[in-house]
Amino acid sequence: MDTRRSVLVTGGAAGIGAGIALRFAEAGYAVAILDLDGEGGRAAAASLEKLSPCIALRGDISEEKDARAAVEETVRRFGRLDVLVNNAGIEVSGSVSQLTSSEWDRQIAVNLRGAYLMSKYAIAAMKRGGSIVNISSVHAFVSWPGCAAYDTTKSGLIGLTRAMALDHGRDGIRVNAICPGYIDTPLMDRWLSAVPDREEVLRQIVASHPAGRIGTPRDVAEAAFFLASDAASFISGTSLVVDGAMTVAGH
């Protein structure tokens, strides 16, 4: 009987999610990548096949049928689900006065409702116990102008993490959150490409980090893997900031 553990990573086609999927594949986990970008998800899964079994699933985590189907297909293919990483998310910019109600609702639907739905069905499937890692953000603790909806969802993920850790600890399920700062991803690259002076902005960002650099997807992946591993068996309900000391420096 195959006793290989399995992980389901949402938003695993690129960026932080792809880095997390890679880290678990390197450790021998069977990996399911769920992403709205079906082509990107398939490409990411194909790149991991040489390391470990990997499948790509296309779906919208804010849709209950898609969330349920992703968990069910992961269990059908791998026989079990041990780890869920709620990484998928979007960022809608604007203050409360600027945001339309539909923009607000979409931000909440993906970042909060999506994590709730994925966790709901994953918890039911974790018959041997398991681990859930929610990818929040330093935006749960600090803010920048025009991030009203995004800040709300990332703060909400911290509350959801605590609640699930409390409610499902006796089911053998641990729940933790990671709060990344600036991470070198395609999303950040697109944002930098839109600013007037890319190199100067990047220089200022790097200078705001006592660590002397911005983060990489691997930095977040290592944190996620640790929190999901047996090495963290007594850690639940916590939030781990991964930002090179940027927030404690006051930025």
Q: Any catalytic annotation for residue 150?
A: yes
pLDDT in tens, 15-68: 999 999 999 999 999 999 999 999 999 999 999 999 999 999 999 999 999 999
For range 197-207, the mean pLDDT = 87
Say what the pLDDT of residue 2 is: 54
CA distance to 35, 99, 112, 121, per residue, from 117 (Å): 15, 25, 9, 7
* Sequential DSSP letters for 141-162: T---TTBHHHHHHHHHHHHHHH
Which domains does the chain possess? 6-183+217-242 (3.40.50.720)
Which member of 29, 116, 121, 150 is catalytic?
150
DSSP one-letter code for 110: I
The Cα–Cα gap between 22 and 44 comes to: 9
Higher-pLDDT residue of 128 and 11 is 11
Nearest-10 crossing angle of helices 217-228, 15-26: 50
Say what the pLDDT of residue 200 is: 87
Long-range interactions of 35-41: CB distance < 8 A, separation 24+? 35/10, 35/11, 35/59, 35/88, 36/60, 36/88, 37/13, 40/13, 40/14, 41/12, 41/13
| pLDDT band per the 50, 70, 90 thresholds, residue 195 | confident
Residue 57: φ, ψ to 5°: -125, 135
Helix (H, G, I), strand (E, B) or coil at 178: strand
Instruction: Specify whether the CB–CB gap between 132 and 86 falls below 8 A.
Output: yes
pLDDT in tens, 86-140: 999 999 999 999 999 999 999 999 999 999 999 999 999 998 899 999 999 999 9
What is the model's pTM?
A: 0.95
Q: Assess whether pLDDT exceeds 90 at residue 250.
A: no
The Cα–Cα gap between 248 and 210 comes to: 9
For range 153-165, the mean pLDDT = 98
Instruction: Specify whether the CB–CB gap between 227 and 176 falls below 8 A.
Output: yes
Say what the pLDDT of residue 193 is: 80
Strand order in the sheet with 30-35: 54-58, 30-35, 6-10, 83-86, 130-135, 173-180, 239-242
Helix (H, G, I), strand (E, B) or coil at 6: strand
